[in-house]
């Protein structure tokens, strides 16, 4: 059990760990169920609001435990309702977690970070500029959901691992967090998306581990030469190997994959690129999310015109009907794809 300055951190504990904690402090077992509910299902800001716990028990909890170890250092709400939280862990390191909601849909989607910084080095991504700082633990990942739920008083319904870091380079802690999300928060595996830039061996590993998760792949280029220019990971795990691993995922799970493709003006957005992408994906079952490039500091890339985006989409539609241009969520608060950099926004 994780302790911070002798205080037990409750976030991330499984039901049986909460039971152990409760009996360890001399409380009856039924308290475990109550505490588990408050922690994961009935989001409240602090122990004071856990109204069916006795006053004495609440005081005892305040003396020996904390709900989470991290705190919010900045919260910004975008025009479209997207909320960008900047969270700080006890070692002073910070990451973003983003809450997205969509009109007409009750779903609340949390975009989680799995690492502080990232070693992968994609040229269009603000996180890459921080370089890799450290992995997050499963508990620290869960704390991002607890932060959102305590702050909004609402339950998160969907998870996307698309925040800072490459989830499959922090495989053990990410998969441990997924298990907690599924068993303790009871969010179904089919509501959890793991997004990877293409860490091929761990795509096989994840497929063997769980056949229900949604797999999203950041492709961003339709051929080896271009991809290695904008995504250094291509040097280690080239496209042909990546495509083989995706075929394995589709064959094993019977499910579609999601292809993420950031459109960058004059780099990967021509009709020829779209045609090449169709050919590359011929044998796969897929949806494509087109993401018009979101501006980041110190990067010369630009977003293509709406005409170019539409032309690209039309060509893709000749091969598949499931093409979406991702709604631009949170770009006014630097919470959109590729913009997360762990910084206070002024
Ligand atoms: S896009 Fe993802 S994998 Fe690439 S540098 Fe950014 S965080 Fe890392």
CATH number where 301 lies: 3.20.20.70
Give the domain range for residue 9. 3-66
User: How far is it, in rounded angstroms, from Cα 56 to Cα 300?
Assistant: 59
CATH code of the domain covering residue 51: 1.10.150.530
Q: Which segments of the chain have a pLDDT < 50?
A: none
Using a 6 Å cutoff on CB, does residue 197 contact ligand 1? yes
328 in a structural domain: yes
290 in a structural domain: yes
- Would you say 163 and 109 are in contact if contact means Cβ atoms under 8 Å apart? no
Same-domain check for residues 298 and 182:
yes
Task: Output the CA 172–ligand 1 centroid distance in Å.
Answer: 18
Q: Regarding beta strands 132-135 and 115-117, do their DSSP bridges make them parallel or antiparallel, or are they unpaired?
A: antiparallel
Number of domains in the chain: 2
Of 66, 81, 113, the position where a domain reaches its end is 66
28 in a structural domain: yes
Same-domain check for residues 30 and 104:
no
Same-domain check for residues 20 and 132:
no
Residue 104, pLDDT score: 66
Residue 327, pLDDT score: 63
Same-domain check for residues 314 and 230:
yes
Same-domain check for residues 43 and 176:
no
Same-domain check for residues 239 and 318:
yes
Work out which ligand 1 atom sits closest to the CA atom of 196. Answer: 3
Same-domain check for residues 171 and 203:
yes
For the record, the structure tokens of 219 come out as 């492709």
Same-domain check for residues 21 and 41:
yes
Nearest alpha carbon, ligand 1 atom 3: 166
Of 24, 40, 66, the position where a domain reaches its end is 66
Query: pTM for this structure?
Result: 0.94
pLDDT tens-place string over residues 227-272: 999 999 999 999 999 999 999 999 999 999 999 999 999 999 999 9
134 in a structural domain: yes
For the record, the structure tokens of 115 come out as 């690492």
Same-domain check for residues 269 and 321:
yes
246-263 b/e (C-beta count within 10 Å ≥ 16 → b)? beebbeebebbbbbbbbb
Same-domain check for residues 55 and 77:
no
Same-domain check for residues 195 and 57:
no
Q: Regarding beta strands 108-111 and 94-101, do their DSSP bridges make them parallel or antiparallel, or are they unpaired?
A: antiparallel
Of 66, 93, 111, the position where a domain reaches its end is 66
Same-domain check for residues 182 and 281:
yes
346 in a structural domain: no
Residue 211, pLDDT score: 84
- Would you say 210 and 231 are in contact if contact means Cβ atoms under 8 Å apart? no
Task: Output the CA 50–ligand 1 centroid distance in Å.
Answer: 39
Residue 212, pLDDT score: 93
User: How far is it, in rounded angstroms, from Cα 197 to Cα 227?
Assistant: 11
Residue 339, pLDDT score: 80
| Catalytic hit among 96, 143, 173, 260 | 96
């Amino acid at each position: 059990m994780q302790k911070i300055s002798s205080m037990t951190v409750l976030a991330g504990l499984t039901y049986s760990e909460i039971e152990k904690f409760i009996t360890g402090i001399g409380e009856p077992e039924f308290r475990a169920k109550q505490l588990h509910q408050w922690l994961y299902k009935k989001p409240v800001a602090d122990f004071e609001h856990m109204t069916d716990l006795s006053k004495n028990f609440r005081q005892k909890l305040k003396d020996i435990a904390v709900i989470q170890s991290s705190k919010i250092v900045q919260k910004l709400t975008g025009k479209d309702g997207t909320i960008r939280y900047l969270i700080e862990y006890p070692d002073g390191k910070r990451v973003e977690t983003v809450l997205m909601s969509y009109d007409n849909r009750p779903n609340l989607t949390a975009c989680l970070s799995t690492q502080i910084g990232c070693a992968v080095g994609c040229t269009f991504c603000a996180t890459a500029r921080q370089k890799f700082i450290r992995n997050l633990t499963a508990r620290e990942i869960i704390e991002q959901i607890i932060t959102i739920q305590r702050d909004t008083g609402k339950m998160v319904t969907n998870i996307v691992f698309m925040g800072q870091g490459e989830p499959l380079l922090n495989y053990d802690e990410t998969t441990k967090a997924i298990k907690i999300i599924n068993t303790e928060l009871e969010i179904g595996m089919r509501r959890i998306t793991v997004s990877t830039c293409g860490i091929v061996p761990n795509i096989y590993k994840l497929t063997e581990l769980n056949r229900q998760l949604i797999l999203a792949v950041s492709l961003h280029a339709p051929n080896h030469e271009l991809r290695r220019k904008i995504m250094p990971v291509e040097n280690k795990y080239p496209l042909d190997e990546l495509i083989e691993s995706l075929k394995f995922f589709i064959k094993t799970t019977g499910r579609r994959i999601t292809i993420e493709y950031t459109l960058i003006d004059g780099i990967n957005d021509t009709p020829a690129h779209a045609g090449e992408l169709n050919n590359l994906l011929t044998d796969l079952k897929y949806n494509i999310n087109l993401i018009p490039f979101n501006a980041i500091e110190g990067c010369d890339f630009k977003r293509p015109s709406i005409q170019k985006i539409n032309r690209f989409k039309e060509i893709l539609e000749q091969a598949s009907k499931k093409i979406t241009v991702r709604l631009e969520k949170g770009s006014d608060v630097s919470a959109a794809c590729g913009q997360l950099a762990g910084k206070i926004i002024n």
